[in-house]
Amino acid sequence: MRRLTLLLLSQLFTLQASGQREVSFQPPLKIPMYLSGNFGEIRSDHFHSGIDIKTRGTTGQHVSSIENGYVSRIKIQTNGYGKSIYVAHPNGYTSVYGHLDRYRPDIAAYVKNVQYQRRSHGVDIYLKPEQFPLKKGAFLAYSGNSGSSSGPHLHFEIRTTGNQHPTNVLEYGFDIEDLVAPRFLSLYLYPEGRGSSVNGSAEKLTLKIVSENGIYAIQEEIITASGTLGFGVEVFDYLNGASNRCGVYTFELFVDDELTYSHRMDEFSFSETRYINAHIDYAERIRSGTKVHRLSRLPNDRLRIYGKLVKDGILEVEENRMYSIRVVATDVAGNRSELKFHVTGKKENISIDSTHPDFVKSMKYDKPNRFKDGDVTVEIPANALYQDLEFRYQRLPRSIGTLSDVFQLHTPETPVHLSYTLSIKTDSVEPSLRGKLLLITYDHENEVSSAGGEYLDGAVVASLRSFGKFAISLDTIAPEIIPLNGSSGKDLSGKKTLRFTIRDDLSGIEKYEGYIDNSWALFEFDPKNDLLTYTFDSERITVNTSHELELYVSDAKGNVNLFHTIFSW
C-alpha cells in the first residue's frame, strides 16, 4: 500500500513537472498514429476517456499489447466499445482496446465458449493472470468498427489499474506528432444572476474570435458589463496529419494577470464523467451542438479537473473599471494559444427579467424537490441538478397516439445529473395491456421515442435523466425480422454467415435468441446497422445437412416475433 502511494506520488510529481509520465509503452498498432479523437474531448454525457487512432479507413489492423501483462477483462456489448479487451500491466496501468473486429484465435475460442455457456452475445469476463499472459508487443486482436463506432478506428485507453481511472494517453510519450496549437473559435459571456448584464442585455453574448499575429482577439472593440459575469470559450486542438477537432489539455483564465480559473484534463473517474454537462454550456450543446467550455464552476459540479478557482471563476464587475481578460489554452505537447480582450464595468439599466409564464416552483439543487399537478408527480432527488432552478411546467393537449395529456417538464436545455421520477396516472387501460404501457418523449422536431417506464399502481412511472415533453403511450408491436440471405428452404452451403435485419419501433430490441437444431446459437447484434449475424460454426453444427432455425426477437415491452426456417449448410 505504501509502495503504491509512493509510486503514485512519484508519477504525479513527474507529471506536474513535464506533462509526461515516466513509463515506456510501445504503440498498440504497427501503423503511424494519427488521431481522430483525443483524451478529454467533449462527447455526449461524458468526456472521451481515450484516444481514437485512425486505421486507414479499414478494419483488421493488428492490435498488440503495449507492455508485458495479462488479459484481465474481455467485454462484449452491442453498444459502447463493442468488442473490447483489457490488459493489466505490472507497472500499475491497464490498457483498453475497443471497437475491435475480432480477437486473436485462442482468445476468440475462449470467449465463444463463455458465450455458449452463458447463452449470451454480451459478456463481461474477468480473467486470471495465468490465462492469457502477454509479452510486450503480443498480438491481441484485429481492429474494427464494433459497438457505437461510426467508422473503423481503434479506441485506446490507459487506466490506472487500482481505481480504473482513465488517464490522458498523450502523457505517455507515444510518437504522435503535434505542432499545432489550440484554436479559439468563439467567446461566450454570461450575465450570472438577476440584474447582471453584458452589452446592455441580460442574455448571454456570443462573439466571434479572430486571430491577429498569433494572438486571438474579438472583433468588437468594447464589452461592457454590470453585476456578475461568467466566461466560456469554444476552442479545439488539432494534431498533425488530421483535420479532426480534438480536445484541449489545460485552460487558464486571468483577470488583470491574476489566475482566477484553471482546469487540466489528465485523469477523471467514470463516476464523475457525466458532470461534463455542468462543465459545458449544456443549453448551447442541445440547441446548436456547439461545444463550449465554461471557465467557471456550477455549484454542484464535482469534477476533479479544476485547479485554481477564485469565486468559482465568476467575475464581480465594478463600475467604471476596465478589466484585461486573458484565456490560455494548451495541448499536451506544450503548444499554447492566448485570447485577449477587455471588459469595462458600466451601470446599465436593464429591465429585470420577469418570471417565465410557465414557472411553477423554485428548486434548491441540494435538496429533494417534488412537484405535483393532479395526476402528474415529479420527484427530483437532492443533487440531481447542478444549480438552483426556477422549474417550469405546462400541460398540453393529447396528441395522436397518446393515452394522456402531454406534459412539458421544464426544458431539455437544462441538464439533469441523477435520475428523477415522473409518474403519470392512467385511467382506463385494460389490465391485459398494462404491461405494454410506457412513456414517450418528443425531440425538437417532434419525433417520438421511448422514455421507458412501467405500469405501477394505476400510473406509468419512469426514471428519467432529461427534461422535456412526455406522455403515456402503448407498445404492442413486435420487432420486425427480415432475412437477408436465409429465406426458407435455401441452400447456404459455402456461406460464412446467416444475416437478418431486425428493427423495433418504440421500446427497442431487448432480446434476441437463435436456436439451430434446437440448440442455442450465437447471434451477434449490431444495433447501428440493425444487423443480426450468425457465423456458421462447424464445431457446433453438422456440415452438409439440413438445419432448422428458430429466431426469437423481443422488445422491452415483451412483444416477441418468431422467425422459423429450414435451410441446408
**Which positions lie near Zn ion, rule CB under 5 A?**
52, 155
DSSP 411-423: -TTSEEEEEEEEE
**CB-wise, 79 or 120, nearer to Zn ion?**
79
Interstrand relation of 153-160 and 376-380 (parallel, antiparallel or unpaired): unpaired
Nearer to Zn ion, 82 or 313 (CB): 82
Nearest distance in Å: CB 149, Zn ion: 8
CB of 155 or CB of 469, closer to Zn ion: 155
Q: Terminus-to-terminus CA distance in the chain, angstroms?
A: 58
* Neighbour count for residue 97 (Cβ, 10 Å): 26
Smallest distance from the beta carbon of 334 to Zn ion, in angstroms? Answer: 24
> Which residue's CB comes closest to Zn ion?
155
Report in angstroms how near the CB of residue 389 gets to Zn ion at its nearest: 33
For residue 82, give the C-alpha cell: 463493442
Nearer to Zn ion, 78 or 224 (CB): 78
With DSSP H G I counted as helix, E B as strand and the rest as coil, what are the percentages for the chain, rounded to 5?
Answer: 10, 45, 40
CA pair distance 55, 19, nearest whole angstrom:
27
CB of 136 to Zn ion, least distance (A): 23
Minimum CB distance to Zn ion, residue 36 (Å):
8
Q: Which is nearer to Zn ion, 155 or 279 (CB)?
A: 155
Is the CB of residue 226 less than 8 Å from the CB of residue 196?
yes
CB of 58 to Zn ion, least distance (A): 17
Q: What 3-state DSSP class applies to 521?
A: strand
Taking a C-beta distance cutoff of 8 angstroms, is the pair 544, 493 a contact? yes
CB of 300 to Zn ion, least distance (A): 27
CB nearer to Zn ion: give 141 or 498.
141
Provide the edge-to-edge strand list for the sheet that holds 497-503: 480-483, 497-503, 531-535, 523-526
Between residues 164 and 377, which has the closer beta carbon with respect to Zn ion? 164
> Does an H or E element contain 105, and which?
helix 105-118
Exposed/middle/buried for residue 553 (C-beta within 10 Å: 0-12, 13-18, 19+): buried
Q: Among residues 121 and 155, whose Cβ is nearest to Zn ion?
A: 155
Closest approach, Cβ 48 to Zn ion, in A, equals 6
* Element (DSSP H or E) covering residue 146: none
Q: Which amino acid is at 64?
A: S
Q: Give how far Cα 347 sits from Cα of 130, 305, 320, Å.
A: 71, 35, 8
Q: Shortest approach of Zn ion to residue 76 CB, angstroms?
A: 17
Cell of 94: 491497464
- Would you state the cell numbers that stand for residue 177, as one nine-digit string? 506528432
- Within a 10 A sphere around the Cβ of 218, how many other Cβ atoms? 18
Q: Rank residues 176 and 189 by Cβ distance to Zn ion and give the closer one.
A: 176
